[in-house]
Amino acid sequence: MENSQGKLYNLVNLEEISGGSDEFIIEMTKLFIDQAQNTINGLNAAFDQKNFTEIKNLAHQIKPSIDNIKIDILSPIIREIEHLAERQDQPEKLSPLIMETNTVLETVISQLQTELKERAK
């Protein structure tokens, strides 16, 4: 679900909120990258420990950010992770969803880091 530039995200919401401020967009992008990296690490650790409460909390925390930068491919997946972790009755379904989430987030992080370099020019 890449957009026309091959990106898995779209910063249109940030651009609207920022009123065109590159500084705001850059700051929010950096915050998202940090949050995404923490989520990847946290989901992996929580899954290894079968800590469903932590999985649910991490999914819940990053959900608005995923929606805000329009990672449309990930939006239903993160909601499914949150739902499955809350119910705790199908842990075998969580592993592939967490792996897919991590892969998408890693790709988005890489794409955002490239965008940050371009905006810094």
pLDDT tens digit sequence for 63-101: 999 999 999 999 999 999 999 999 998 989 999 999 999
Contacts of 58 (CB under 8 A, 6+ apart): 39, 42, 43, 46
pTM to 2 decimals? 0.91
Domain assignments of the chain as residue spans, ordered by start: 12-116
Using CA atoms, how far apart are residues 115 and 79, in angstroms rounded to an integer? 27
Topology classification of domain 12-116: Four Helix Bundle (Hemerythrin (Met), subunit A) (1.20.120)
Using CA atoms, how far apart are residues 102 and 34, in angstroms rounded to an integer? 14
